[in-house]
Amino acid sequence: MTVESDVPAIVVLGSINMDLVTTTARRPVPGETVLGSGFAMVPGGKGANQAIAARRAGGEVRFLGAVGDDVFAGELRRSLTDAAVFTDRLRTVAGPSGIATIVVDDDGENSIIVVGGANTRMSELTEDDLAAIAAADILLCQLEIPVDTVAAAARHARAHGTTVLLNPSPARALPADLWTNVDVAVVNSGEAEQLDADLDTVAHLVVTRGAAGADYRGPDGARFSRPSPQVDVVDTTGAGDAFTGALAAAWHRGPEWALTWACAAGALATTRLGASSSIPAREEITAAMVAE
């Protein structure tokens, strides 16, 4: 597909969770109990976070995923529709929705445990799912749903000229045929070391480095880095997802612009508590870029 306007069509295939967020002065060590200072339930999941981030950053976004038939399902669905993400391909399955328990300390650092729930049931793509992927400009995926489903989606995208952007997180060994269908990979520095050999096969590689910004390596040998705006960090949860979604929304403008745009989005996401609740709007990202 070729983007015909400044609003790319993005399909996000991935997870959606309810995040159970606890704040505390410091995170406990094994066997220790500490007192918390706050608790919140915030819709999240890497897929949903990136879908909302891509929408707020300027893309037209459709989400492919699954919720359960539990008490969290309605709120999870509303979190996407309220963000103007299309949910016609969001299915409901029997059983619990995905959840994540998150502990955030006073330094803004976090520890996370994810229980996949309905996300693990995304084991096949329907004809309508495949049609949505073929019609999109970008397919954006992560690894909180079955890898075989991600690989099938990437193959279909490649066959129909849809750019495949993969955030291979949580990092793991992946089938070779998945990597051959990835156009853009977005990883943090730890994932870059773990997946080093596989990433050599990817045309465009983006490595995020937290407050230091991000690095780019292109197919023609091009390399450059972009800094992140300096901000007061409250919570780093979801910052990587804000970065990745914004990168997808700006990719059609070229890697240099997209990386600068994404660094601003990722930095702004650390200034508020939560994942989806911290994702900045397009106007905020623009203002941060101008300020720099």
**Residues annotated as part of the active site:** 241
What is the chain's percent helix, strand, coil content, to nearest 5?
A: 35, 25, 40
What is the rounded distance in angstroms from the CA atom of residue 153 to the CA atom of residue 47? 14
Closest CA to 266 of 224, 235, 290: 235
Q: Token pair for residue 210?
A: 């937290």
Q: Token pair for residue 88?
A: 């016609």
What is the rounded distance in angstroms from the CA atom of residue 213 to the CA atom of residue 199? 19
What is the rounded distance in angstroms from the CA atom of residue 266 to the CA atom of residue 139? 20
Residue 170, preceding peptide bond in cis (omega within 30° of 0): yes
Q: What are the distances in angstroms from CA 139 to CA 94, 131, 224?
A: 26, 12, 24
Q: Which run of H or of E encompasses 217? A: strand 214-217
What is the rounded distance in angstroms from the CA atom of residue 205 to the CA atom of residue 86? 28
